[in-house]
Structure 1
């Protein structure tokens, strides 16, 4: 355990110990940089976002943390099952290659704790129960942060800041005030945990199961290794407010919507909900910029979409990796700071925009044409204003994001979704039909802002042609 008080200065300050912060911190420490991580909570702590994508595996391998996660005994997720819009179909991860045959359904308190402990083992100076109160800027650059803990208060200066503070949004929401919520995806999620549930016989082993409702939302069901099933309802704010008022509260709304989902109701027959309901709202947003002089926004501090395609941890760890690569390239003067910041901004934003389009398309096609929920999820002109939607769509359908070693299984998962979107009743994820796309810009033809990501012999950025 490190000293209770953080040092007065560090190469890189990481704010937040979730997957984005722990990934960035561990990778930077592995490159030999001095890294301090300040986390306001004491881990383990509760968090939602339990269903992970196969892209997790190559990221864990890059971190050297796969064994630490495997030891936790999480449920292995080999695909997904959909009872959606009157159709039943499945996605299986077989055929993605040996590096991405499965993912995990995790208890996030345990998963996040494992990643934070791994970062500590790599030499990161981790200080829990230490809240960052403010960020100071000098000549437009982030230079110092103030903190408080049981040990007192203080300030720490740094060369680069990674804001992985999640929904709190230290830089974008609190200081720069550049976060905006999407007109689409103004949804509410409410969920609880059940014991004694029956399995979905048609689903792949350990699969997440998604069940759409005819008019106003959908349910998730996620099996966890502690013997519980996470069951959550996602609905739009208008429907949530109206139904809660007419039915007499959140509990009544949750029970009513379960009754309207016969397959899920049968799954829960005889089961017991063992936790109170939890509620989240207004969780879909994006910051105007993801990076600037001396700072990088990682994970939920930059953006969050929607739980439909389980992209939260993927984007968190992916952005943590991009931030680490960008910062280490700048610290080693392989590229200029402005170049590194531009690479990060474009690479992370492009990944986010691609998923934004996919989530919107999924809602658009599979909800009933007259459903209020479907209409509410459509991207408005304001949502589209700052997006390169045409460019992003071309990347999705053309496979321009292909990596020769196909490290990112999640992208093939999303590519395979095109088959059920076209109306197929069942689809397997495998074979050669799924386009191999990835957001890892490692090849020269995938260069962003004239730079490409390099993983070997060490993590960083290189100019095209180098």
Structure 2
């Protein structure tokens, strides 16, 4: 390992691999430390079409496409009394998404970052980030296979992409704020020879509600299906105590959900049950002098709309653009960091609002689970919902659909009864590519994203260093 690196990335998941790879493509020296040896298991198998432009930018799209993952044609929702589909073919004529085995998927991304020139060290965990003068300057690392093998690496900048483990926000700063909503638990396993979804596009993820939660059904290919139960933490723990264990809670829930029960009739369980808390959170700040937080290290969102890998890769791209322009002198660190903070947080809060409204749309308003997912007045004030609504509208091309979504969200967050109908077909737009600030009119903190001649930030007004660098 080098004793010093220009940029240190902590964590080799989608956020870290994306940020590291895109920075290496810009010619910077990047070292990535990953505590595990890939391939390693990870939940979060359903990928959105919004990831494709980032994979193309990385140059890894063709590798993912050729790997043989299960193509994902969209999604189908069995939501209370309502049913509807999201069909990705309506958004373009190419296959844009997959259901992936994350162990294989994440390894493709990490190996590609290595090919781009990133120094990747696996089985190397970071125990502490050292600060001096208010900035991070070094990382203490530990070999995962040999307790005696440890050391220190200095750097100019660090991107913390250490996931929910959160080296900075969770362990050193203690700056994560958990939302009062989405205090849920997930229990899942894998099944062989489960029946396909009775409705929806080929390869679609299924989402099936029930009074105290919902199930995901993800066809993984090769005859394997992931089926997971999401329910409130208190309900889950009470049922576990009552019934005797996780398997019993899961089995009882399957028996109460007719669609899932039929899909699993005759299927063979192929893995042990896994359980995880799905508490949603966000760090108080996504960046600070000399550092950025990306992916789950910065924020985590309820899995209802399959946005995890989207947020991870999107934040990785934003971090690479912001840091790259800072190092080239196209923007000051303060300007680029303000851009990153606002754009990434807006993307996260937009999705948080939509997930909450999605839960509110359930027609069984007397069920505690769905009421527990509602944003409180205090949370609405903290989230700056007007900015979130503005982002929803500017992120949708069709003004009429934008107004419908705005009216639905605004109505539900301002007194409409939970369970009142909303135009759910318009919420399908959450699966489309999110609009990043790509021109002067969309500029954030005076900057916007540019991909030519390389990834970076340009300054609104045409008089900044970014334009001069690009020859504009």
Find out whether 1:185 has 2:179 as its counterpart.
no
Return closer, same or farther for 1:82/1:440 CA change in 2, 3 Å cut-off: same
Aligned-pair RMSD on alpha carbons?
2.5
In structure 2, the partner of 1:87 is 82
Q: Identify the range of structure 1 (416-425 vs 260-269) with the bigger mean alpha-carbon deviation.
A: 416-425
In structure 1, the partner of 2:154 is 157
In structure 2, the partner of 1:68 is 63
Counterparts of 1:22-421 in structure 2, within 5 Å, are 22-98=17-93, 101-149=95-143, 150=146, 152-214=149-211, 216-396=212-392, 399-401=393-395
Counterpart Cα distance in 2 of 1:142 and 1:367: 49
Give the one of 8, 14, 37 matched to 1:13.
Answer: 8
Measure how far apart 1:284 and its partner are.
1.2
Measure how far apart 1:425 and its partner are.
8.7
Counterpart Cα distance in 2 of 1:379 and 1:228: 36
Number of paired residues?
447
Q: TM-score, normalised by structure 2?
A: 0.90
Contact 1:163 1:295 in 2 (8 A): yes
Counterpart Cα distance in 2 of 1:437 and 1:204: 19
Measure how far apart 1:143 and its partner are.
1.3
Structure with more of its chain in helix, by fraction: 2
**What are the superposed Cα offsets for residues 52-76 of structure 1, whole Å, 9 maximum, x if unpaired?**
1001111110110011111220011
Query: Secondary structure of the equivalent of 2:91?
Result: coil
Measure how far apart 1:244 and its partner are.
1.3
Query: Secondary structure of the equivalent of 1:252?
Result: helix
Counterpart Cα distance in 1 of 2:440 and 2:330: 17
Counterpart Cα distance in 1 of 2:198 and 2:41: 30
Give the one of 437, 441, 444 matched to 1:441.
Answer: 437
Measure how far apart 1:422 and its partner are.
4.5
Counterpart Cα distance in 2 of 1:356 and 1:117: 32
Q: Identify the range of structure 1 (56-65 vs 145-154) with the bigger mean alpha-carbon deviation.
A: 145-154
Measure how far apart 1:439 and its partner are.
3.6
Return closer, same or farther for 1:147/1:426 CA change in 2, 3 Å cut-off: closer
In structure 1, the partner of 2:448 is 452
Measure how far apart 1:212 and its partner are.
0.1
Contact 2:49 2:432 in 1 (8 A): no
What 5-or-longer segments of structure 1 have no aligned partner? Answer: 1-5, 405-410
In structure 1, the partner of 2:468 is none
Counterpart Cα distance in 2 of 1:127 and 1:51: 27
Measure how far apart 1:437 and its partner are.
7.3
Return closer, same or farther for 1:264/1:340 CA change in 2, 3 Å cut-off: same
Return closer, same or farther for 1:395/1:86 CA change in 2, 3 Å cut-off: same
Query: Secondary structure of the equivalent of 1:457?
Result: coil
What 5-or-longer segments of structure 2 have no aligned partner? Answer: 410-418, 463-472
Q: TM-score, normalised by structure 1?
A: 0.91
The structure, 1 or 2, with the larger RCO (C-alpha pairs under 8 Å, 6+ apart) is: 1
Q: Identify the range of structure 1 (365-374 vs 30-39) with the bigger mean alpha-carbon deviation.
A: 365-374
**What are the superposed Cα offsets for residues 320-360 of structure 1, whole Å, 9 maximum, x if unpaired?**
00000000000001000111111100010000000000000
Counterpart Cα distance in 1 of 2:420 and 2:64: 33
Measure how far apart 1:403 and its partner are.
7.5
Measure how far apart 1:418 and its partner are.
7.1
In structure 2, the partner of 1:407 is none
